[in-house]
Copies of this chain bind each other. A is one copy, B any other.
Amino acid sequence: MNKLPERIRIKDIARLADVSVGTVDRVLHGRTGVSEASRKRVEEILKQLDYQPNMYASALASNKKYLFVCLLPQHKEGDYWTDVELGMKRAVETFSDFHITLSVMYYDQYEYSSFINAGEEILKQEPDGVLLAPTIPEMTARFTDKLQEREIPYIFIDSNVSSLNPLAFFGQKSDQSGYFAARMAMMLGECPKEIVIFRQINEGRLGSNQQENREKGFRKYMQEHFPDCKIVELNLYAKRPDEDEALMNRFFQENPQITCGITFNSKVYIIGEYLIGHNLKNFKLIGYDLLRRNVSCLKEGAVDFLIAQQPTAQGYSGVESLCNHLIFKKEVKQCNYMPITLLAVENVDFYLDAHKK
């Protein structure tokens, strides 16, 4: 009459295998110093009883420390990356009893060398896990190769380079996101004859492959459903605001017939605020991400829809994945697409970017 408790403990399986808890612990952690016979017997019982360790007790006893470091583009407060960072910090708080620490580093998106330097710096810290946004795919490989050598797991946030084999990726499927945006834009604009894409160019380059992929998806939808709709482009240069102003002045004067536009970066407020400033109503506008200024535009009616991608949830999940992998020994899904969420003034107040609040 060996009554087993609801939750099986090491002690229980030790008794059943007729060994000591020490031995069970050794096989659980794949350590050496166990005879083949004992190991087999223990493993047998382990899976027969579907033993689930109490990770809290484990963490308590082991007292192991974990250092995670994340590498993000430099950004200003209120920017998109702020929320990603917030999510990571939330996760660190949540798992603080497991002794994890997060060190955050930044690089200049338009300066390759700063990415390289940051990478070196990180390796010196000998982290247990790394999170990064692979906004510069060419440079990322050189860094992740070294991480792989050292067997340090790494997580991609926001955009993916699946060939680099991260432990996990969290971000939107950007082409599909643009595809969806196209449908909404055409519905919003009541099937306009022309539509404009506002682009943002920095240092002569599109800021991210995200922007590029969304546009691709957008064009795919248009091709499939509205091949006759003319797609116009207007390039803006966020670092020279007066120049942007002039470009928009010219554009809106020369194209009064265009009444619908979209932007695939997170700065739709640049256009929204321009519309407000110039009292241009009746222009339908769609953008991405819930930056404060974007939301203001939405509430004032200058922006009609915002598409959200839950940056905070991305950051949180990234850290959580590292914990699952390193601490809880749970399997983590490699490709995690975030929801593509449409926000209008009527539902934006209930938007839930998990863990942001």
Binding site for B on A (CB under 8 A): 7, 54-57, 59-60, 96-97, 172-173, 176-177, 179-180, 183, 187-188, 190, 310, 337-342, 344, 346-347, 349-352, 354
Copies of this chain, how many?
Answer: 2
Of residues A59, A183, A310, A346, which shows the largest number of chain B Cβ atoms within 10 Å of its Cβ?
A: A346
Picked from B173, B339, B346, the residue with its CB within 8 Å of the CB of A176 is B346
Closest B residue to A177 using CB positions:
B347
Shortest 8 CB-CB distances between A and B: which pairs?
A56-B56, A180-B346, A340-B347, A339-B352, A180-B347, A339-B350, A342-B342, A337-B350
User: What are 22 sample pairs from A and B whose C-beta atoms fall under 8 A apart?
Assistant: A7-B96, A54-B60, A56-B57, A56-B60, A172-B350, A176-B346, A176-B347, A176-B350, A179-B346, A180-B344, A190-B190, A310-B352, A337-B349, A339-B341, A339-B347, A340-B346, A340-B347, A341-B341, A341-B347, A342-B342, A342-B347, A354-B354
Closest-CB distance, A356 to chain B (whole angstroms): 12
Write out the residue numbers on chain B whose beta carbons fall within 8 Å of the beta carbon of A346: 176, 179-180, 183, 340
CB within 8 Å for A57 and B55 given contacts A337-B350, A347-B176: no
C-alpha gap A183/B301 in the complex (Å): 14
Picked from B57, B97, B183, B338, the residue with its CB within 8 Å of the CB of A350 is B338
C-alpha gap A191/B23 in the complex (Å): 73
Write out the residue numbers on chain B whose beta carbons fall within 8 Å of the beta carbon of A350: 172-173, 176, 337-340
C-alpha gap A88/B177 in the complex (Å): 31
CB within 8 Å for A344 and B56 given contacts A339-B352, A350-B338: no
Picked from B60, B340, B342, the residue with its CB within 8 Å of the CB of A57 is B60
Please determine whether A54 and B352 come into contact, CB atoms closer than 8 angstroms.
no
Write out the residue numbers on chain B whose beta carbons fall within 8 Å of the beta carbon of A59: 56
Write out the residue numbers on chain B whose beta carbons fall within 8 Å of the beta carbon of A344: 180, 183
Please determine whether B176 and A54 come into contact, CB atoms closer than 8 angstroms.
no
C-alpha gap A237/B23 in the complex (Å): 64
Write out the residue numbers on chain B whose beta carbons fall within 8 Å of the beta carbon of A55: 97
